[in-house]
Amino acid sequence: MTAPMYRQEKLEQTSTNNVAELASDESTSAEIWNALVTEDHQHEIRLRTMSWQKAAWLLAGDQVCLAIMAQSWSLSVLGWVPGIITMVLSGALFWMTSLTMHKYIMKHPQIQNICDFGYYVFGKSQAAYIFSGFMLLANNILLIGFHILTGAKILDTLSSHSLCTVTFSAIAMIMGIVLSAPRTLQHVSFMSMFSAACMGLAILLFLIFSGIETAPLGYPADGPVRTYAFPLPGTSWVDCMNAVLNITFLWVPQILFPTFIAEMERPEDFPKSLAVLAIISCILFIVPPAVGFHFLGQYATAPAFGSLGLATYRKASFGFVIVPTLIIGAIYANVTAKFIYSHLLGTSRHAHSNTVIGWGVWALVMIAIWVVGFIFSEVIPSMGDFLSLLGAAFDSFFGFIFFAVAYWHLYRGKLFAGLGRTVMTLLHVFVMACGLFLLGPGLYAAVEAIITDYSGSVSPAFSCASLGI
Protein backbone atom coordinates (compact mmCIF):
# COMPACT_ATOMS: atom_id res chain seq x y z
CA MET A 1 0.00 0.00 0.00
CA THR A 2 1.55 3.28 -1.04
CA ALA A 3 1.44 6.36 1.12
CA PRO A 4 -1.20 8.90 0.11
CA MET A 5 -0.47 12.27 -1.40
CA TYR A 6 -1.65 15.11 0.77
CA ARG A 7 -2.49 18.73 0.55
CA GLN A 8 -0.09 20.35 -1.96
CA GLU A 9 1.02 17.13 -3.66
CA LYS A 10 -2.50 15.81 -4.15
CA LEU A 11 -4.05 19.12 -5.07
CA GLU A 12 -1.42 19.99 -7.66
CA GLN A 13 -2.44 16.92 -9.66
CA THR A 14 -6.10 17.89 -10.00
CA SER A 15 -7.55 19.01 -13.31
CA THR A 16 -7.80 22.65 -12.25
CA ASN A 17 -5.42 25.08 -10.57
CA ASN A 18 -8.02 26.68 -8.29
CA VAL A 19 -7.76 24.17 -5.46
CA ALA A 20 -3.96 24.08 -5.52
CA GLU A 21 -3.75 27.86 -5.43
CA LEU A 22 -6.12 28.06 -2.48
CA ALA A 23 -4.19 25.39 -0.58
CA SER A 24 -0.91 27.19 -1.14
CA ASP A 25 -2.00 30.45 0.51
CA GLU A 26 -3.79 31.30 3.76
CA SER A 27 -7.29 30.59 2.45
CA THR A 28 -9.93 29.37 4.84
CA SER A 29 -11.14 25.79 4.96
CA ALA A 30 -14.52 26.94 3.63
CA GLU A 31 -12.88 28.32 0.50
CA ILE A 32 -10.99 25.08 -0.03
CA TRP A 33 -14.20 23.08 0.42
CA ASN A 34 -15.94 25.26 -2.19
CA ALA A 35 -13.03 24.80 -4.58
CA LEU A 36 -13.08 21.02 -4.08
CA VAL A 37 -16.81 20.88 -4.86
CA THR A 38 -16.37 23.11 -7.92
CA GLU A 39 -13.50 20.97 -9.18
CA ASP A 40 -15.50 17.76 -8.61
CA HIS A 41 -18.52 19.11 -10.50
CA GLN A 42 -16.38 19.50 -13.61
CA HIS A 43 -15.95 15.72 -13.76
CA GLU A 44 -18.16 13.34 -15.69
CA ILE A 45 -18.84 11.32 -12.54
CA ARG A 46 -19.56 13.73 -9.70
CA LEU A 47 -19.03 12.49 -6.16
CA ARG A 48 -19.61 15.60 -4.04
CA THR A 49 -23.34 15.86 -4.74
CA MET A 50 -25.20 14.61 -1.65
CA SER A 51 -27.56 16.93 0.18
CA TRP A 52 -27.83 16.65 3.95
CA GLN A 53 -31.21 14.94 3.51
CA LYS A 54 -29.72 12.22 1.30
CA ALA A 55 -26.80 11.88 3.71
CA ALA A 56 -29.33 11.41 6.53
CA TRP A 57 -31.00 8.57 4.58
CA LEU A 58 -27.60 7.03 3.94
CA LEU A 59 -26.77 7.18 7.65
CA ALA A 60 -30.16 5.70 8.54
CA GLY A 61 -29.77 2.96 5.95
CA ASP A 62 -26.41 2.04 7.45
CA GLN A 63 -27.52 2.15 11.08
CA VAL A 64 -31.05 0.71 10.95
CA CYS A 65 -29.76 -2.82 10.72
CA LEU A 66 -30.00 -6.36 12.06
CA ALA A 67 -27.71 -5.50 14.98
CA ILE A 68 -30.68 -3.75 16.60
CA MET A 69 -32.27 -7.17 17.03
CA ALA A 70 -29.28 -8.42 19.01
CA GLN A 71 -29.79 -5.84 21.75
CA SER A 72 -32.53 -7.78 23.56
CA TRP A 73 -29.96 -10.52 24.08
CA SER A 74 -27.53 -7.93 25.50
CA LEU A 75 -30.21 -6.83 27.97
CA SER A 76 -30.84 -10.47 28.91
CA VAL A 77 -27.16 -10.76 29.86
CA LEU A 78 -26.67 -7.39 31.54
CA GLY A 79 -30.13 -6.77 32.97
CA TRP A 80 -32.12 -3.52 32.82
CA VAL A 81 -29.82 -1.20 34.76
CA PRO A 82 -26.36 -1.90 33.25
CA GLY A 83 -27.94 -2.53 29.83
CA ILE A 84 -29.88 0.72 29.54
CA ILE A 85 -26.99 2.72 31.04
CA THR A 86 -24.64 1.23 28.43
CA MET A 87 -27.07 2.06 25.61
CA VAL A 88 -27.63 5.67 26.72
CA LEU A 89 -23.94 6.25 27.41
CA SER A 90 -22.96 4.77 24.02
CA GLY A 91 -25.47 7.05 22.31
CA ALA A 92 -24.19 10.17 24.09
CA LEU A 93 -20.57 9.34 23.27
CA PHE A 94 -21.53 8.61 19.65
CA TRP A 95 -23.10 12.06 19.29
CA MET A 96 -20.19 13.85 20.93
CA THR A 97 -17.40 12.05 19.06
CA SER A 98 -19.20 12.40 15.72
CA LEU A 99 -19.39 16.17 16.15
CA THR A 100 -15.70 16.26 17.09
CA MET A 101 -14.89 14.24 13.96
CA HIS A 102 -16.92 16.64 11.80
CA LYS A 103 -15.19 19.72 13.25
CA TYR A 104 -11.80 18.18 12.58
CA ILE A 105 -12.67 17.22 9.00
CA MET A 106 -13.99 20.73 8.31
CA LYS A 107 -10.54 22.03 9.23
CA HIS A 108 -8.86 19.47 6.96
CA PRO A 109 -10.87 19.39 3.70
CA GLN A 110 -8.48 16.93 2.06
CA ILE A 111 -9.76 14.08 4.25
CA GLN A 112 -11.69 11.60 2.10
CA ASN A 113 -11.84 8.52 4.33
CA ILE A 114 -10.98 7.26 7.81
CA CYS A 115 -7.42 6.49 6.67
CA ASP A 116 -6.85 10.14 5.78
CA PHE A 117 -8.30 11.02 9.18
CA GLY A 118 -5.79 8.75 10.92
CA TYR A 119 -2.97 10.21 8.83
CA TYR A 120 -3.73 13.77 9.92
CA VAL A 121 -4.73 13.15 13.51
CA PHE A 122 -1.48 11.30 14.25
CA GLY A 123 0.78 14.01 12.84
CA LYS A 124 0.73 13.10 9.13
CA SER A 125 2.13 9.68 9.91
CA GLN A 126 2.46 7.21 7.03
CA ALA A 127 2.42 4.38 9.58
CA ALA A 128 -0.92 5.65 10.91
CA TYR A 129 -2.30 5.75 7.36
CA ILE A 130 -1.20 2.18 6.60
CA PHE A 131 -2.53 0.95 9.96
CA SER A 132 -5.87 2.70 9.37
CA GLY A 133 -6.00 1.27 5.85
CA PHE A 134 -5.50 -2.24 7.14
CA MET A 135 -8.22 -1.77 9.77
CA LEU A 136 -10.59 -0.29 7.19
CA LEU A 137 -10.15 -3.24 4.83
CA ALA A 138 -10.29 -5.88 7.55
CA ASN A 139 -13.28 -4.35 9.30
CA ASN A 140 -15.35 -3.71 6.17
CA ILE A 141 -14.60 -6.96 4.33
CA LEU A 142 -15.34 -9.05 7.43
CA LEU A 143 -18.58 -7.12 7.84
CA ILE A 144 -19.43 -7.82 4.20
CA GLY A 145 -18.78 -11.50 4.95
CA PHE A 146 -21.10 -11.25 7.93
CA HIS A 147 -23.83 -9.78 5.72
CA ILE A 148 -23.37 -12.60 3.18
CA LEU A 149 -23.72 -15.10 6.01
CA THR A 150 -26.82 -13.29 7.27
CA GLY A 151 -28.30 -13.32 3.76
CA ALA A 152 -27.78 -17.08 3.63
CA LYS A 153 -29.39 -17.44 7.06
CA ILE A 154 -32.46 -15.49 5.90
CA LEU A 155 -32.80 -17.51 2.68
CA ASP A 156 -32.33 -20.73 4.67
CA THR A 157 -35.10 -19.67 7.05
CA LEU A 158 -37.56 -18.62 4.34
CA SER A 159 -37.03 -21.73 2.20
CA SER A 160 -36.82 -24.22 5.09
CA HIS A 161 -33.31 -25.11 3.85
CA SER A 162 -34.28 -26.01 0.29
CA LEU A 163 -30.71 -25.60 -0.96
CA CYS A 164 -27.17 -26.01 0.36
CA THR A 165 -26.27 -23.03 2.58
CA VAL A 166 -23.15 -22.35 0.48
CA THR A 167 -25.45 -21.88 -2.52
CA PHE A 168 -27.53 -19.36 -0.58
CA SER A 169 -24.31 -17.55 0.41
CA ALA A 170 -23.28 -17.39 -3.26
CA ILE A 171 -26.70 -16.00 -4.18
CA ALA A 172 -26.38 -13.32 -1.48
CA MET A 173 -22.89 -12.46 -2.75
CA ILE A 174 -24.10 -12.05 -6.36
CA MET A 175 -27.02 -9.88 -5.25
CA GLY A 176 -24.60 -7.77 -3.23
CA ILE A 177 -22.29 -7.26 -6.20
CA VAL A 178 -25.20 -6.07 -8.34
CA LEU A 179 -26.39 -3.62 -5.66
CA SER A 180 -22.84 -2.30 -5.26
CA ALA A 181 -22.55 -1.20 -8.90
CA PRO A 182 -23.21 2.57 -8.36
CA ARG A 183 -20.01 4.56 -7.89
CA THR A 184 -21.55 7.48 -5.99
CA LEU A 185 -23.02 7.36 -2.50
CA GLN A 186 -25.84 9.64 -3.65
CA HIS A 187 -27.22 6.74 -5.69
CA VAL A 188 -26.71 4.35 -2.78
CA SER A 189 -28.66 6.73 -0.52
CA PHE A 190 -31.82 6.05 -2.54
CA MET A 191 -31.47 2.34 -1.77
CA SER A 192 -30.87 3.20 1.89
CA MET A 193 -34.34 4.70 2.18
CA PHE A 194 -35.86 1.37 1.13
CA SER A 195 -33.44 -0.50 3.40
CA ALA A 196 -34.40 1.47 6.51
CA ALA A 197 -38.12 1.07 5.72
CA CYS A 198 -37.79 -2.72 5.37
CA MET A 199 -35.83 -3.03 8.61
CA GLY A 200 -38.40 -0.87 10.37
CA LEU A 201 -41.16 -3.17 9.12
CA ALA A 202 -39.24 -6.24 10.32
CA ILE A 203 -38.85 -4.68 13.77
CA LEU A 204 -42.54 -3.75 13.94
CA LEU A 205 -43.62 -7.27 13.01
CA PHE A 206 -41.27 -8.71 15.62
CA LEU A 207 -42.75 -6.48 18.33
CA ILE A 208 -46.30 -7.47 17.34
CA PHE A 209 -45.53 -11.18 17.20
CA SER A 210 -43.57 -11.21 20.47
CA GLY A 211 -46.50 -9.48 22.17
CA ILE A 212 -49.28 -11.73 20.88
CA GLU A 213 -47.66 -15.17 21.08
CA THR A 214 -48.18 -17.23 24.21
CA ALA A 215 -44.52 -18.07 24.89
CA PRO A 216 -41.09 -17.66 23.28
CA LEU A 217 -39.10 -20.49 21.72
CA GLY A 218 -37.51 -22.69 24.38
CA TYR A 219 -40.18 -22.07 27.03
CA PRO A 220 -40.50 -23.52 29.70
CA ALA A 221 -37.00 -25.03 29.85
CA ASP A 222 -35.67 -22.10 31.91
CA GLY A 223 -38.81 -21.39 33.90
CA PRO A 224 -41.31 -18.55 33.44
CA VAL A 225 -40.29 -15.54 31.34
CA ARG A 226 -38.77 -12.94 33.62
CA THR A 227 -36.73 -9.76 33.44
CA TYR A 228 -34.22 -8.53 36.00
CA ALA A 229 -32.36 -5.37 36.91
CA PHE A 230 -28.86 -6.84 37.03
CA PRO A 231 -27.05 -9.88 35.56
CA LEU A 232 -28.31 -13.22 36.78
CA PRO A 233 -26.11 -15.22 39.17
CA GLY A 234 -23.55 -17.23 37.26
CA THR A 235 -23.21 -14.73 34.41
CA SER A 236 -19.50 -14.50 33.60
CA TRP A 237 -17.51 -11.32 33.12
CA VAL A 238 -16.73 -12.43 29.56
CA ASP A 239 -20.46 -12.72 28.80
CA CYS A 240 -21.10 -9.24 30.20
CA MET A 241 -18.19 -7.76 28.26
CA ASN A 242 -19.37 -9.31 25.01
CA ALA A 243 -22.87 -7.92 25.64
CA VAL A 244 -21.31 -4.47 26.09
CA LEU A 245 -19.29 -4.94 22.88
CA ASN A 246 -22.50 -5.92 21.12
CA ILE A 247 -24.06 -2.60 22.14
CA THR A 248 -21.04 -0.44 21.30
CA PHE A 249 -20.69 -2.15 17.92
CA LEU A 250 -24.17 -0.87 17.01
CA TRP A 251 -23.38 2.69 18.13
CA VAL A 252 -19.97 3.04 16.40
CA PRO A 253 -20.42 3.56 12.63
CA GLN A 254 -17.93 6.44 12.30
CA ILE A 255 -15.54 4.42 10.16
CA LEU A 256 -17.76 5.40 7.19
CA PHE A 257 -18.50 9.01 8.13
CA PRO A 258 -15.44 10.72 6.58
CA THR A 259 -16.33 9.21 3.20
CA PHE A 260 -19.94 10.32 3.61
CA ILE A 261 -18.87 13.88 4.44
CA ALA A 262 -16.45 13.98 1.49
CA GLU A 263 -19.35 13.28 -0.89
CA MET A 264 -21.65 16.00 0.45
CA GLU A 265 -22.15 19.15 -1.58
CA ARG A 266 -22.33 21.17 1.65
CA PRO A 267 -20.31 19.20 4.24
CA GLU A 268 -21.01 21.87 6.84
CA ASP A 269 -24.59 20.51 6.93
CA PHE A 270 -23.53 17.08 8.16
CA PRO A 271 -24.64 17.81 11.77
CA LYS A 272 -28.21 18.07 10.42
CA SER A 273 -27.90 14.56 8.98
CA LEU A 274 -26.36 13.42 12.23
CA ALA A 275 -29.26 14.87 14.23
CA VAL A 276 -31.76 12.87 12.15
CA LEU A 277 -29.73 9.72 12.73
CA ALA A 278 -29.47 10.43 16.47
CA ILE A 279 -33.26 10.76 16.81
CA ILE A 280 -33.87 7.54 14.84
CA SER A 281 -31.16 5.70 16.77
CA CYS A 282 -32.39 6.78 20.21
CA ILE A 283 -35.80 5.33 19.39
CA LEU A 284 -34.86 2.16 17.51
CA PHE A 285 -31.74 1.22 19.49
CA ILE A 286 -33.50 1.32 22.86
CA VAL A 287 -37.29 0.88 22.56
CA PRO A 288 -37.54 -2.34 20.45
CA PRO A 289 -34.77 -4.12 22.44
CA ALA A 290 -36.47 -3.12 25.70
CA VAL A 291 -39.87 -4.37 24.48
CA GLY A 292 -38.21 -7.56 23.21
CA PHE A 293 -36.53 -8.17 26.56
CA HIS A 294 -39.85 -7.55 28.33
CA PHE A 295 -41.61 -10.29 26.34
CA LEU A 296 -38.69 -12.70 25.87
CA GLY A 297 -36.74 -12.27 29.11
CA GLN A 298 -34.00 -14.84 29.61
CA TYR A 299 -35.06 -16.58 26.35
CA ALA A 300 -33.86 -13.67 24.19
CA THR A 301 -31.47 -14.66 21.40
CA ALA A 302 -29.35 -12.75 18.90
CA PRO A 303 -31.07 -11.93 16.61
CA ALA A 304 -34.29 -11.76 18.59
CA PHE A 305 -36.30 -13.14 15.65
CA GLY A 306 -34.96 -16.56 16.65
CA SER A 307 -36.80 -16.33 19.98
CA LEU A 308 -40.26 -16.20 18.41
CA GLY A 309 -42.14 -19.41 19.16
CA LEU A 310 -43.87 -19.92 15.80
CA ALA A 311 -41.91 -20.57 12.62
CA THR A 312 -44.47 -18.53 10.68
CA TYR A 313 -43.73 -15.48 12.86
CA ARG A 314 -39.99 -15.96 12.44
CA LYS A 315 -40.25 -16.15 8.65
CA ALA A 316 -42.69 -13.25 8.32
CA SER A 317 -40.53 -10.82 10.30
CA PHE A 318 -37.02 -12.08 9.50
CA GLY A 319 -37.69 -12.18 5.75
CA PHE A 320 -37.74 -8.38 5.43
CA VAL A 321 -34.18 -8.21 6.78
CA ILE A 322 -32.78 -9.46 3.44
CA VAL A 323 -33.09 -5.92 2.03
CA PRO A 324 -31.04 -4.04 4.68
CA THR A 325 -28.60 -6.95 4.87
CA LEU A 326 -27.61 -6.58 1.21
CA ILE A 327 -27.84 -2.79 0.99
CA ILE A 328 -25.74 -2.21 4.11
CA GLY A 329 -23.22 -4.63 2.66
CA ALA A 330 -23.25 -2.48 -0.50
CA ILE A 331 -22.54 0.67 1.56
CA TYR A 332 -19.49 -0.93 3.19
CA ALA A 333 -18.40 -2.28 -0.19
CA ASN A 334 -18.67 1.19 -1.76
CA VAL A 335 -16.46 2.81 0.89
CA THR A 336 -13.96 -0.06 0.70
CA ALA A 337 -13.85 -0.03 -3.10
CA LYS A 338 -13.27 3.74 -3.20
CA PHE A 339 -10.24 3.35 -0.94
CA ILE A 340 -8.70 0.67 -3.20
CA TYR A 341 -9.85 2.37 -6.39
CA SER A 342 -8.18 5.68 -5.46
CA HIS A 343 -4.85 3.91 -5.04
CA LEU A 344 -5.18 2.06 -8.34
CA LEU A 345 -6.27 4.96 -10.54
CA GLY A 346 -5.20 7.99 -8.49
CA THR A 347 -6.11 11.28 -10.20
CA SER A 348 -6.32 9.89 -13.74
CA ARG A 349 -9.37 10.72 -15.83
CA HIS A 350 -10.58 7.13 -15.47
CA ALA A 351 -11.17 7.75 -11.76
CA HIS A 352 -13.97 10.23 -12.44
CA SER A 353 -15.12 9.48 -16.00
CA ASN A 354 -17.32 6.89 -17.73
CA THR A 355 -14.45 5.05 -19.40
CA VAL A 356 -14.13 1.34 -20.03
CA ILE A 357 -11.01 1.21 -17.86
CA GLY A 358 -12.66 3.18 -15.06
CA TRP A 359 -15.77 1.00 -14.91
CA GLY A 360 -13.77 -2.16 -15.54
CA VAL A 361 -11.46 -1.52 -12.59
CA TRP A 362 -14.44 -0.57 -10.41
CA ALA A 363 -16.23 -3.82 -11.30
CA LEU A 364 -13.16 -5.97 -10.67
CA VAL A 365 -12.45 -4.31 -7.32
CA MET A 366 -16.07 -4.72 -6.24
CA ILE A 367 -16.20 -8.37 -7.29
CA ALA A 368 -12.93 -9.06 -5.46
CA ILE A 369 -14.24 -7.44 -2.26
CA TRP A 370 -17.42 -9.52 -2.24
CA VAL A 371 -15.59 -12.75 -3.14
CA VAL A 372 -13.14 -12.29 -0.25
CA GLY A 373 -16.09 -11.51 2.01
CA PHE A 374 -17.78 -14.70 0.80
CA ILE A 375 -14.68 -16.74 1.65
CA PHE A 376 -14.55 -15.26 5.15
CA SER A 377 -18.26 -16.01 5.63
CA GLU A 378 -17.62 -19.69 4.86
CA VAL A 379 -14.33 -20.39 6.64
CA ILE A 380 -14.94 -18.58 9.95
CA PRO A 381 -17.11 -20.88 12.09
CA SER A 382 -18.37 -18.23 14.51
CA MET A 383 -18.73 -14.89 12.71
CA GLY A 384 -20.51 -13.37 15.72
CA ASP A 385 -17.43 -13.85 17.89
CA PHE A 386 -15.25 -12.23 15.24
CA LEU A 387 -17.59 -9.24 15.17
CA SER A 388 -16.98 -8.85 18.92
CA LEU A 389 -13.28 -9.02 18.13
CA LEU A 390 -13.73 -6.31 15.49
CA GLY A 391 -15.66 -4.18 17.95
CA ALA A 392 -12.88 -4.40 20.51
CA ALA A 393 -9.89 -4.13 18.18
CA PHE A 394 -11.17 -1.62 15.60
CA ASP A 395 -14.08 0.28 17.15
CA SER A 396 -11.82 1.19 20.05
CA PHE A 397 -9.87 3.30 17.53
CA PHE A 398 -12.59 4.35 15.06
CA GLY A 399 -15.18 5.12 17.74
CA PHE A 400 -13.11 6.52 20.56
CA ILE A 401 -9.31 6.91 20.41
CA PHE A 402 -9.17 8.72 17.04
CA PHE A 403 -11.66 11.34 18.16
CA ALA A 404 -10.12 11.94 21.58
CA VAL A 405 -6.83 12.73 19.81
CA ALA A 406 -8.68 14.89 17.25
CA TYR A 407 -10.26 16.89 20.10
CA TRP A 408 -6.80 17.48 21.58
CA HIS A 409 -5.61 18.86 18.23
CA LEU A 410 -8.67 21.09 17.86
CA TYR A 411 -8.35 22.73 21.28
CA ARG A 412 -4.69 22.33 22.11
CA GLY A 413 -3.59 25.21 24.34
CA LYS A 414 -7.14 26.01 25.47
CA LEU A 415 -8.36 22.67 26.79
CA PHE A 416 -9.40 24.24 30.10
CA ALA A 417 -10.46 27.68 28.88
CA GLY A 418 -13.69 28.08 30.82
CA LEU A 419 -16.12 25.70 32.50
CA GLY A 420 -17.76 24.45 29.30
CA ARG A 421 -14.46 23.67 27.59
CA THR A 422 -13.14 21.98 30.76
CA VAL A 423 -16.22 19.71 30.91
CA MET A 424 -15.84 18.78 27.23
CA THR A 425 -12.13 18.08 27.74
CA LEU A 426 -12.86 15.77 30.68
CA LEU A 427 -15.53 14.00 28.63
CA HIS A 428 -13.02 13.38 25.84
CA VAL A 429 -10.56 12.05 28.41
CA PHE A 430 -13.34 9.61 29.30
CA VAL A 431 -13.72 8.82 25.58
CA MET A 432 -10.03 7.93 25.44
CA ALA A 433 -10.40 5.77 28.56
CA CYS A 434 -13.34 3.93 26.96
CA GLY A 435 -11.29 3.29 23.84
CA LEU A 436 -8.38 1.92 25.83
CA PHE A 437 -10.75 -0.21 27.91
CA LEU A 438 -12.23 -1.76 24.77
CA LEU A 439 -8.75 -2.30 23.38
CA GLY A 440 -7.58 -3.99 26.59
CA PRO A 441 -10.18 -5.91 28.65
CA GLY A 442 -12.65 -5.80 25.77
CA LEU A 443 -10.24 -7.46 23.37
CA TYR A 444 -9.37 -10.05 26.01
CA ALA A 445 -13.07 -10.92 26.50
CA ALA A 446 -13.62 -11.25 22.74
CA VAL A 447 -10.63 -13.60 22.40
CA GLU A 448 -11.81 -15.66 25.38
CA ALA A 449 -15.23 -16.07 23.76
CA ILE A 450 -13.61 -17.29 20.53
CA ILE A 451 -11.44 -19.78 22.43
CA THR A 452 -14.49 -21.10 24.29
CA ASP A 453 -16.49 -21.57 21.08
CA TYR A 454 -13.59 -23.26 19.30
CA SER A 455 -13.11 -25.69 22.19
CA GLY A 456 -16.45 -27.27 21.25
CA SER A 457 -17.68 -28.59 17.95
CA VAL A 458 -16.75 -26.36 15.03
CA SER A 459 -18.67 -26.25 11.76
CA PRO A 460 -16.54 -27.25 8.76
CA ALA A 461 -15.72 -24.70 6.08
CA PHE A 462 -18.21 -24.37 3.20
CA SER A 463 -20.77 -26.43 5.11
CA CYS A 464 -24.21 -27.14 3.62
CA ALA A 465 -25.76 -27.35 7.08
CA SER A 466 -28.80 -25.14 7.64
CA LEU A 467 -28.35 -21.74 9.29
CA GLY A 468 -32.08 -21.06 9.48
CA ILE A 469 -33.62 -19.82 12.70
The predicted-structure confidence for 299-345, as pLDDT tens digits, reads as follows 999 889 999 999 999 999 999 999 999 999 999 999 999 999 988 88
Per-chain mean pLDDT for the chain: 88
3-state secondary structure at position 50: strand
Task: With beta carbons less than 8 A apart as the criterion, state whether 81 and 240 touch.
Answer: no
Residue 19, pLDDT > 60, answer: no
Q: Is the pLDDT of residue 457 over 60?
A: yes
pLDDT tens for residues 113-164?
Answer: 999 999 999 999 999 999 999 999 998 998 999 999 999 999 999 999 899 9
More reliable by pLDDT, 349 or 100: 100
- State phi, psi for 411 to the nearest 5 degrees: -120, 25
On whether residue 16 sits in a domain, the answer given is no
Is 469 among the domain residues? no
* 30: nearest Cα among 314, 268, 193, 324: 268
Residue 315 lies inside a defined structural domain of this protein: yes
Residue 11 has pLDDT above 50, yes or no: no
Each residue of 37-51: pLDDT tens digit?
Answer: 888 888 877 888 899
Over residues 415-423, the mean pLDDT reads: 94
What pLDDT, on a 0 to 100 scale, did the predictor assign at position 27?
53
pLDDT at 15: 42
- Does residue 463 have a pLDDT over 80? yes
> Tens digits of per-residue pLDDT, 180-235?
999 888 888 888 989 999 999 999 999 999 999 989 999 899 999 999 999 999 99
Position 325 scores a pLDDT of: 94
69 occurs within a structural domain: yes
Q: For residue 383, how many other CB atoms are within 10 A of its CB?
A: 18
- Residue 224 sits in a domain whose CATH number is 1.20.1740.10
Give Cβ neighbours of residue 91 (< 8 Å, ≥ 6 apart). Answer: 251, 278, 281, 282, 285, 286
Whether the pLDDT of residue 25 is over 80: the answer is no
**The predicted structure's pLDDT at residue 383:** 63
* Backbone torsion region of residue 164, taken as left when φ is above 0, otherwise alpha when ψ lies between -120 and 50, otherwise beta: beta
Q: What tens digit of pLDDT does each residue of 382-410 get?
A: 666 666 777 788 888 999 999 999 999 99
Mean pLDDT of 66-76: 93
Question: Is 414 within the bounds of a domain?
Answer: yes
E strand or H helix at 318? helix 311-318
Residue 446, in any domain of the structure:
yes
Q: What is the pLDDT of residues 233-290, one digit of tens each?
A: 999 888 898 888 889 888 888 999 999 999 999 999 999 999 999 999 999 999 999 9
- Inform me whether the pLDDT recorded for 437 exceeds 80: yes
pLDDT at residue 68 in the model: 93
Which residues are within 8 A (CB) of 5 and not within 5 positions of it... i.e. 6 or more apart? 13
Cα 335–Cα 341–Cα 342 angle in degrees, nearest 5: 95
pLDDT for 98-111, tens place per residue? 999 999 999 999 89
Which amino acid does the sequence have at 74? S
Question: Is the confidence at residue 8, as pLDDT, over 50?
Answer: no
Burial (CB count within 10 angstroms: exposed 0-12, middle 13-18, buried 19+), residue 449: buried
User: Which domain covers residue 450, as residue numbers?
Assistant: 49-455
Would you say 8 and 25 are in contact if contact means Cβ atoms under 8 Å apart?
no
Question: Is 13 within a domain?
Answer: no
pLDDT score, position 204: 96
- Residue 80's pLDDT is what? 97
Q: What is the pLDDT, as a whole number, of residue 49?
A: 85
Within a domain: 23: no
Give how many domains the chain has, as a whole number. Answer: 1
Instruction: Give CA torsion, residues 90, 94, 95, 97, to 10 deg.
Output: 130
